[in-house]
Amino acid sequence: MTHPAASLTDRLRDEIDTTGPISVSRFMQACLFDDTDGYYHKGEAIGASGDFITAPEVSQIFGEMLAAMLAYIAPYFAGSEAAIRFEAGPGRGTLAADMQRGYEMCGSALANRPLYLLEKSDGFRDQQKARLSEAPLVMIEDMADLPAAPLFGVANEFFDALGVDQVIWQNGQWHHRLVGLSGEEFAFVIGPVCTSEDLIPYAPLPEAPAEGDICETSPQSAAIMAQMAQHIAHHGGALLVIDYGKSDQLGDTLQAVANHRPVPPLSVCGMADITHWVDFRQLAQVAEAAQARLIGPVPQGRFLLELGIAERAEALRHPDMPEQDRQLLAAIDRLVSPAQMGHAFKVALLVPQGDGVPPGFASYQTEEGG
């Protein structure tokens, strides 16, 4: 038994020695949220001085445009008067502050509605409280703590931080892919053969897998999306879900970033952001099962351009201040260019069941042939 004050790495090694290899989701959650050494526990990860930059940290225009979009569609999805605002995983609170300003700029009643923040990290919670003083703020740790009211909000780079599990095709069978030890180092190991029950969350699996093929599923994402979808199906509202992602469960998408550089995900326990690529198809299936609808995903670049980010940036240019002007154009390029965040990042919108496609999602309509 390791000493309680031992490092997270030593405690995880001890756990693996005692109980055998652990699931990938268990490893991720320990690295991110361990009470003493978890990466998010410290709340220092995000921003230019942190390890990675998220869209709201690139430009305030991002949050302002999301607020304008939600304010515009609110009347179609229950209205703003009795609604609550919501954000899942608000990090430093930058996006919430920008959206507050966005709601005020377009005169939306949402500007004065209470803001519910789903946040697990003490470090980030303290920063959010310090930063967001305008509207009544309620911190929650579980979606079940939301009041019965229409909800308008956003989850930006939230689902990628939830635990993902993996299976691997080996010798004609699917096996669990787990985290074990190779000497002192954490290493992926082949676990027990999967039962057909184990494989249900991974469906549909490839029909003719090749040796070493990997598939992923995120039970935690499915559980939280189910709660979000049930809430919106019953009470109305709209939730933007933005993340790097795709629409299948194929491949090993686990990644870690420290100091703005990719690092091997098992090498820097608690010292790096460890995330996965979100499977939007799985989120859409869960939403549908809860009688809600997930529209999209569409690439972030196309979404923002359709909402008018280029026109908004033009209005904010600084002809007399070349450095600020250059920074503004570089920020917009970073958000929309396919080579930067514009293509890998996707946007989807969770709404009650119905038809039609709101602003920002025209490319989805085209692709669906609708």
| Footprint of ligand SAH (CB under 6 A) | 40, 46, 54, 56-57, 89-91, 94-95, 118-121, 124, 156-158, 161-162
The enclosing H or E element of 346 equals: strand 345-352
Question: For ligand SAH, which residue has the nearest CB?
Answer: 89
C-beta of 94: minimal distance to ligand SAH in Å? 6
**Minimum CB distance to ligand SAH smaller for 78 or for 117:** 117
State which residue, 63 or 236, has the beta carbon closest to ligand SAH. Answer: 63
Between 71 and 161, CB nearer to ligand SAH: 161
Helices 60-73, 94-105: inter-axial angle, 10-degree rounding: 50
For the bound state, the minimum distance from the C-beta of residue 117 to ligand SAH, rounded and expressed in Å, comes to 9
Residue 116 pairs with which residues in a beta bridge? Answer: 86, 138
CA dihedral 283→288→293→295, nearest 10 degrees, is 40
Closer by beta carbon to ligand SAH, 154 or else 292: 154
Smallest gap, in angstroms, from Cβ of residue 210 to ligand SAH?
33
CB of 273 to ligand SAH, least distance (A): 8
- Calculate helix-pair angle for 24-33, 8-19, nearest 10 degrees: 150
Nearer to ligand SAH, 66 or 168 (CB): 66
The torsion angles phi and psi of 345, rounded to 5 degrees, stand at -80, 140
Distance of alpha carbon 350 from alpha carbon 147, whole angstroms: 18
How near is the Cβ of 93 to ligand SAH at its closest, in Å?
8
Instruction: Please give the full DSSP string across 25-68, using - where no structure is assigned.
Output: HHHHHHHHH-TTT-TGGG---BSTTSSB--HHHH-HHHHHHHHH
Nearer to ligand SAH, 54 or 230 (CB): 54
Q: Is 338 helix (H, G, I), strand (E, B) or coil?
A: coil
Cβ 37 to ligand SAH, closest distance in Å?
15
Q: Which two tokens stand for residue 295?
A: 């529209």
Determine the Cα–Cα distance for residues 99 and 239; give it in Å rounded to an integer: 13
Which one, 119 or 165, has the nearer CB to ligand SAH? 119
72 membership: H or E segment, kind and range:
helix 60-73
DSSP 160: G
- Shortest CB 89 distance to ligand SAH, Å: 2
- In the complex, minimum distance from the CB of residue 314 to ligand SAH, in angstroms, rounded to a whole number: 25
Q: Are 175 and 192 in contact (CB under 8 A)?
A: yes
Q: Which is nearer to ligand SAH, 16 or 95 (CB)?
A: 95
d(CA 164, CA 166): 7
Residue partners of 137: CB distance under 8 A and separation at least 6: 114, 115, 117, 128, 129
Q: Which is nearer to ligand SAH, 41 or 293 (CB)?
A: 41
Shortest distance (Å) from residue 192 CB to ligand SAH = 27
Q: Which is nearer to ligand SAH, 59 or 352 (CB)?
A: 59
- Per-residue DSSP letters for 290-327? TTEEEEEEEEHHHHHHHHTHHHHHHHT--TT-HHHHHH
Q: How far is the CB of 279 from ligand SAH (least distance, A)?
A: 16
Which residue, among 290, 299, 289, has the nearest Cα to 243 in the 3D structure? 299
Residue 353: other Cβ atoms inside 10 A: 12
Element (H, E) at 170: strand 165-170
